Amino acid sequence: MKQFNIHPTDKSIANSIQQKIDHLNKPKGSLGRLEELAMQVCMIQHTLSPSLNHPCHLLLGGDHGIEREGVSVSPREVTWQQMINFTHGGGGVNMFCRQHGFDLSIVDVGVDYDLSKVEGVINRKIARGTRNFLHEPAMSEEQFNRTIEVGCELVDDCAKKGCQILSVGEMGIANTSPSSIWMSLFGDIPLDECIGAGAGLSNPGIEHKRQVLNAALKQYNETMVPSDENAIRYFGGFEMVAAIGAMLRAAEQGMIVLVDGFIMTACAIAAIRLYPAAQDYMIFTHCGDESGHRRMLDIVGAKPLLNLGLRLGEGTGALCAFPIIDSAVRMINEMNNFDTAKITKYF
């Protein structure tokens, strides 16, 4: 696997940042999480005057071999149909990107359909879907390495545009299944407690999903040498592994990384397992409705900004949270301090 050079954010300027925040014309600590966010963004950018130039959103599409086992209520053709819908501007991700000024890239990393002639889709296809991890690894080592590189290349393209803040979303039917297994393995949580309804499975459907995923995990434990990288490769989708590569490359580039819901939190945890310092660059934006998402966030001690009951995916929770981060940056850059406002500092 590609090696990354990710350093923890420099805490040496934390006192200077805190002094600037505390000297703004407001009661000390009165802007709560905005103050915490301003501190994090300043440390990521190593400045007391941060900015959020050219926000970019990567929408990554891929299909999953495990879908053949009936673990999702949605058929796999929904993946490519939605990818085409995104090019027409008709998805939730399109609306929120327009609203908040994000540069949207729609990327086919592994959709089981020929999208090569669809205008608006970036072709980075590794294969037409992963293999069925009930029986074998979802991807080969070569495919895994290439998929990580694809995520890196996409971030490099964003960096060339001046991007300072990146969000990543996904489109891939059945991708709650690998996410649940990663949650179990990386959080040391019984698998049954990590499995939910996904896009809307019934109770019998959830039970069937539990049986399939438990069998797949048993197969993995019997045939593979347990390691973080092997677990990522054995179960992950192309869109998910590309997201891991993107998050790691963005952290290496010193970008702010917005983490969305259940699927992207699973990818973020996988990235953190590989490179713990990557978490310094991540803002966990949303706690969704998928069973266990709160527990998944607890694995890395994350405090999500929003709890809106979203379970759409696509990175929509991250996009909805952007104005809060923007407010934090505006706070530290635009508020008067006690001196300029000629207000007595009373603490």
pLDDT tens digit string along 18-32?
Answer: 999 999 999 999 999
The whole-model pTM stands at 0.96
Side chain identity at 285, as an amino acid letter? T
- In this predicted model, what pLDDT tens digit does every residue of 316-343 receive, in sequence order? 999 999 999 999 999 999 999 878 877 7
Q: Rounded to an integer, what is the distance from CA 163 to the centroid of its chain? A: 17
Structural domains for the chain:
11-50+331-341 (1.10.1610.10), 56-324 (3.40.50.10210)
**Cβ within 8 Å of residue 204, ≥6 positions away:** none
Alpha helices in the chain (DSSP H): 14-22, 32-45, 77-87, 92-100, 141-160, 176-187, 203-223, 228-235, 238-252, 262-274, 293-299, 316-334, 338-341
Enumerate helices (H) and strands (E) in the chain, giving the number of each: 13, 6
Q: Is 334 a catalytic residue?
A: no
Per-residue confidence in pLDDT tens, the chain, 347 aa: 899 999 999 899 999 999 999 999 999 999 999 999 999 999 999 999 999 999 999 999 999 999 999 999 889 999 999 999 999 998 999 999 999 999 999 999 999 999 999 999 999 999 999 999 999 999 999 999 999 999 999 999 999 999 999 999 999 999 999 999 999 999 999 999 998 776 678 888 889 999 999 999 999 999 999 999 999 999 999 999 999 999 999 999 999 999 999 999 999 999 999 999 999 999 999 997 766 889 999 999 999 999 988 888 899 999 999 999 999 999 999 999 878 877 777 77
Catalytic-role residue among 69, 170, 239, 314? 314
Q: How far apart are CA 66 and CA 238, in angstroms?
A: 13
